[in-house]
Amino acid sequence: MHQPDTAPRRSTFYQYQVHPFRTPPELAGGRSDAPVVIVGAGPIGLVTAIDLARFGVRSIVLEQDAQVSHGSRAIVLTRRSMEILQQAGVDAPFTAKGLPWSSGRSFFRGHEVYRMMLPHDDDDRFHPCLNIQQQYIEQFLLEAAERTGRIDLRWGSKVLTIAQDPDGARLTVDTPAGEYVLAAPWVVAADGGRSAIRRLMGLRMEGRAYAGNFVIADIKAPLGLPTERLCYFDPEWNPGNNVLVHRQPDDLWRLDFRLPDGETAEEALAPARLSARIEQILAMVGRRVDWVLDWAAVYSASTLTLAEYRHGRVLFAGDAAHLLPIFGVRGANTGLQDAGNLGWKLAMVARGEAPPALLDSYSAERVEAAREICEEAGKSTRFMTPPTAGFRLLRDAVLSLALTEEFCRDLLHWRTSRPHAYRHSALNGAGDDFDGGFAPGEPIRNVRLGPDDFLFDHLKSGFHLIGFGAGALPLPRLTVPVITIAVGSATLPDPDGRIAAKFAAPPGSAYLVRPDLHVAARWLQPSADAVAQALRIATAQGPSPARGRLDGGIAARTPVGKGGAR
């Protein structure tokens, strides 16, 4: 009998709402027929459900808790994440509540040694970063999920077992009213870093964990500092380590600092010690104000990923699939890219519009992205939490030099989560030689059309055939629905040719863009046959290595274990 905690979590700023358990049909002798079961109602599970819903696919979401996330956790959403949320139709409350920013400053021995401006292109609607607590992220997504009418969210529901065969998957779910079996054709494992599904299926991740623990502590305090990332290296009270300060809505501040080697989580979170350090941080930023602790936790950095995100009928997304460092805000932001990639593909497969092999492209594309992140984030991690004496020595040398020498300051540059170009994707079709623009696999970028009007505001849910200049677009006999956009027409005027310039699109050319805004193909002179061909390839139905059967047959997959910690 699974009994979630039904006392509202305590917070200095957030009103937790406890969601009651509702007896599901299965416990009353009935059944549900949702094509997809999503395990986990965190940000990634919810965006996946919302994305499926916008393509007309129902889902059941199983969440073992009865309320949203404990603690602010993921607090920074990148521009790309906001674009994904906009495509899912849920961005408005985030923009209203969140704090946008673009700059960061690094300090060493009281001096500013590095200032970084993340580029905020005038053509982007969203700022490079937006700070907002995970409680709000989940709340806004829950409200949006409710509005779809297609998502059956089951609180207090914990998965005990999972099994699958060619016909589908079966989960044993434990609830306050007893256990039941839930069968579904597809399962999305979005159950977080300590994923039960990953553990139950005996899957191990590849990569490494880094030694070095960090405390994140949220305080409510009137600091009155602007919204930017502040990083302090080697403060006197915490020699050799670093401190980060981030502003959040509602006067909350995220303090993040590395612990001395050997110190345990228990020692670090002991109230007296934690308070003393918070006081020292406030002195360091020059704001000795009254404060209240909202939440604190200890974490460490890893660069870990499953080698495959598809295991038969189970798809892994978010922290269930990968554990990436907090440096460069790579946790939720990577997971949201997973959800954006998975949603439309799983929807097409669930509706019988594409073969299950399309889901193999989800795994291939997102695993490649995760590996790139492990590589890039590994560099930041080796700077923020040097794993060896050699790396620590070099880090200290750079910090010391950076006080007076410019040549090495860019080593303090902090890479941030970014979208990935799926250059090797099996879904990429023809890529004619454009003089710029976006190649197959790459995400398209936004264009400003007016003071509050951007290209992405005009995109809907599905594939888009974006045509430029004169003439009608060559529409094939449609096996896959395609939304046509004629740039330069009355519906999307381009008086200064700015859209055409951004896409490097001469008159007569066209782009086929996937529902997740990555380019499938582009032509200087498209024909109906070429477009039809590209659509087949982009939905894994064409002459490509990935093959599948529309009758729901699964490609048997044997996970290739490569060692790794978890």
Q: Residue numbers of the site for other proteins (CB under 8 A)?
A: 109, 379, 382, 386, 388-391, 393-394, 398, 400-401, 403-408, 410-411, 413
Nearer to other proteins, 412 or 421 (CB): 412
When the beta carbons of 21 and 232 are compared against other proteins, the nearer one is 232
Report residue 65 as tokens. Answer: 């808790």
CB-nearer residue toward other proteins: 240 or 508? 240
In this structure, what token pair is assigned to residue 66?
């009865």
Q: How far is the CB of 381 from other proteins (least distance, A)?
A: 12
Shortest distance in whole angstroms from residue 57 CB to other proteins: 43
| Shortest CB 408 distance to other proteins, Å | 7
CA distance 505 to 526: 12
Question: Whole-number minimum distance, CB 2 to other proteins, in Å?
Answer: 47
User: Residue type at 351?
Assistant: R
Q: How far is the CB of 388 from other proteins (least distance, A)?
A: 5
* Partners of 187 in beta bridges: 37, 314
Judged by CB, which is closer to other proteins: 352, or 390?
Answer: 390
Please provide the distance, in angstroms rounded to a whole number, between the alpha carbons at the two ends of the chain.
28
Q: How far is the CB of 401 from other proteins (least distance, A)?
A: 7
By beta-carbon proximity to other proteins, the closer residue of 48 and 380 is 380
* SS3 readout for 504-534: CCCCCCEEEECCCCEEEEEECCCCHHHHHHH
* Residue 143 or 405 having the CB closest to other proteins: 405
Question: Can you tell me the distance from the alpha carbon of 425 to that of 127, in angstroms, rounded to the nearest whole number?
Answer: 29
Closer Cβ to other proteins, 278 or 398, answer by number: 398
**How many of the other CB atoms lie within 10 Å of CB of 93?**
17
Closest approach, Cβ 441 to other proteins, in A, equals 22
Name the strand (E) or helix (H) holding 134.
Answer: helix 134-148
Query: Using CA atoms, how far apart are residues 521 and 531, in angstroms rounded to an integer?
Result: 8
Query: CA–CA separation, 380 vs 408, rounded Å?
Result: 15
CA distance linking residue 245 with residue 225, whole number of Å: 10
Q: Which long-range contacts (CB under 8 A, 24 or more apart) does 17-23 make?
A: 17/67, 17/68, 18/66, 18/67, 19/66, 19/67, 19/153, 19/155, 19/156, 20/66, 20/155, 21/66, 21/155, 21/156, 21/157, 21/175, 21/176, 21/177, 22/154, 22/155, 23/177
Which CB sits closer to other proteins, 406 or 452?
406
What six digits make up the tokens of 369?
């992205």
How many residues appear in the chain? 566
**What's CA 182's distance to the chain center, in Å?**
27
Distance in angstroms (rounded) separating the CA atoms of residues 396 and 35 = 54
Q: How far is the CB of 371 from other proteins (least distance, A)?
A: 18
Question: Least distance in Å: CB of 110 to other proteins?
Answer: 12
Judged by CB, which is closer to other proteins: 183, or 411? 411
- CB nearer other proteins, residue 404 or residue 558: 404
